A and B are shown apart, each in its own frame.
Chain A
C-alpha cells in the first residue's frame, strides 16, 4: 500500500531536479556567496576588537534588536558580528526560497494540470508531493553544508567548524521549516497564488512576532520559527537545540501535508470556494477596473503588511528612549548630530527599508501587465476596443497609486505607534514628509519597469535586481563603508536622509522628470511591439 502511494518518487525527484537545474544552483550560489563575503568584509573593515566593540555599542539598542535579532554584543568577534547582523535576514530569504520552490512543484503544477498527467502514469498518489519535498530537503541540506564548510574555510579565527556548521544548519533548517509550511498551505489553498500568499504571510508574521518579542520578552520569541534562528547563537554558545526543533517541526509539517494530500481530491483544496457573482459589478467593466480587481487581494495584503512593518518599527521608539535616558555615555557616543534625538537618527534607516519594501508591491503592480501578457490574456482585451495606451495606463496608474498608498501606510504605521509609545510624541509631518521624499525614487523604479515592458519585455524581471542592489547599497552601505557613488547609482541614494538632512527640491524634481520621461518612452515601445501570447 505505502509502496504504491510512493511509487516512482525517486524518478520524479530526479525529474524535478532536472526542471530546476538552473534555479536551485542559482539560489544556492547567491545565498552562499552573499553569506561568505560578509565575514571577509567585516574582517577587513572592523579588524580590531576596538572597532568591533564600537560597532557593538551602536547595535546595542532595541531598534536594532527588532530588525536583526539579539546577538552577543559583549564578545563581538567577527563570527558573532556575522551571526548578529546577517543570520536572521539571510534566514528570511532562505524561507522565501523554500516557499517559491515548493509552491512551484506542488500547487502550481497541480493548478496547471501537470500533476494530473503525472498521476495518470504509474506513479503513486503521494509521489509528486514527496519528490518535491525530497528535492527541497536536499537543497536545504546542501545549503547548510556549503555555507557551513564555506564559512569555516575562510579561516577566520573566531569562526570555528562547529559554529560554521551551526550557522549553515540554522539557514538549512529555516529552509526545511518553510518548505513544510508551504507544503501544508499547498494542500489547503486551491491555487498557487493563495499558497504563496499565505506562506509569505506566515514568514512575515514570524519575523514581526520575533521583532516584538525579542525586544519585550525573549522567551516568547521561541514561538516564532525565525526566533529559533537567532537562538542558535552560532559562534558564541553554539546551541544546537533550535536545529533539532526545526527538524521536528518540519517532520510534523511534512506528515501533515502528506495526510492532507492523501485525503483530498486532485485540484481541490480545503479552503472553501463559494460561487461568485453572475454579473460584473460596475467597477469591473473597464481595463482599470479589471486590473485593480485582479490585484485587489494582493494590494490589501501588502497594505496591511506595510502598516504593520511601520508600526512595529515605531513600537520600539519608546524603549529606545528609555534605553538611552540617563545613560550619558551612550548619549554622548550616539548623538553625533546636534539637535536631533536618538529616534530622529534611527528614522532615516527605517524609512529606507520601508520605502524599498513599498516599492515591491508597486513594481509587482506594473509587472503584472507583463504577467498577463505571458498568460495570453492581453490578446482578449486588445481584441476589443481597448488601446495599448489605455491598457498600460491602467496598470501604471495602479502601480503609482499603490506605491503612494504603501509608502503612506508605512509612514502612518511608524508614526502612530511611535507617537503612542514616546513621551513627547512624534511629529506626523516630519515622519510623513521624510517618507514621501522617497516617492520620486519609487517613480523612477516604476518608470524603469515601464521601459522594460515596452521594449525588452523578457527582461522585465531584471528590475528586481536593481531593487536588490538599492537595498544592499543603502541598507548595508554604511556597514560596508561603500563610496558615495555606489549609493548614487540607485535613485534611492539621491534622497536626503530626513530629518537629519534637509530635503531639497532639486533632486526630487529631477527624479520625477526622469520617471516621467522613462514612462513616456515605455509607452511608445509598448505601442509599437508585438504582443506575445
Chain B
C-alpha cells in the first residue's frame, strides 16, 4: 500500500498548498502536481458473505486525470463508472491496485478538503431547507460562520434557487434537488469535482444548464470527473473520456479525436440544386470514393427542443412552425 504517500501527506496537512506541492515532490518522486487523479491497476471485486466472488466490477484500471480537464467516464449501466468514482472517494476500498487523489490515498479523509462530490441521486436530508443544507455541509468543512453565510448565499444564487431557499428539500422537484446537490458539492470551492450522472433525471433545459455550469467550472480552473451513460452529455463537455464496459477500459482519449471519423468527409452546403448534387456524386465516383448518403443535415433533437423552448419563451402562445417543416 501507499505508506510513503500517506505518511508524507499527513505530515504536510496544514501547510499552504504551494509548499505542500513542493514537499510532496521532494518526498514522493512519483508525485506530479498536474496529475489530480491517478489509478493504478485498480480492481474491485464484490464478494458475498462467504467471500465468494460475485461481480468483478472493475478490472485493472489505469487512469490519469490531469489538472483543469473535464474527464468523462462513459459506459452502459453496470460498467463500473460509479464504482470508480466511489473508489476515488474512499466510499469503497479497492480489492487490489490503488487510487490516488492529489497524490494521497483515496481512503484518506484530508483529501476531501479539496473535493466536491455530486452523487448519482442527490442524497440530501429532505427535512432541511436549501439554506440549512448548505450551512450544514459548510460546517463539515469547519468554515467560520461569516464565511459560511456568504458562501451559502452566493451558491444558492448561482444555482438559481434564491426563491426556494427556505423550502424543505422534500418539496423540491428533481431538477431543483439536483441543483442544490451541485451547490453542496461546490461549498468548499473544490479543486476536483466528481459528478456521478450529473444530468440524470433532468429535462433538456436543466441538462443544458448543468453542462454550461460544468464548462464554467472548468474555465475557473477546476478539474472535473463525470460519469454518464448519456453520450450526448459526455460528447458536449468532456475533454477526454474513458469508455468502460463490464469493468474493463475499452477506450481512452480526447473526445474530438475519438469522434472524428477520419475516412469520411462531410460536405455541407446551402441552396444547392439537385443537379449540382448529381455532379458532386459523379466527382466522388470519379475519384474512387463511395457515396454513403446525400441528405439535408439534421440538427440534434436536443437542439431542436431547445429552439422550441427558446422560441416559446420569446413569443408566448405562438406555435413554432419549424417542427412541421422539418
A is bound by B: no
Binding site for B on A (CB under 8 A): none
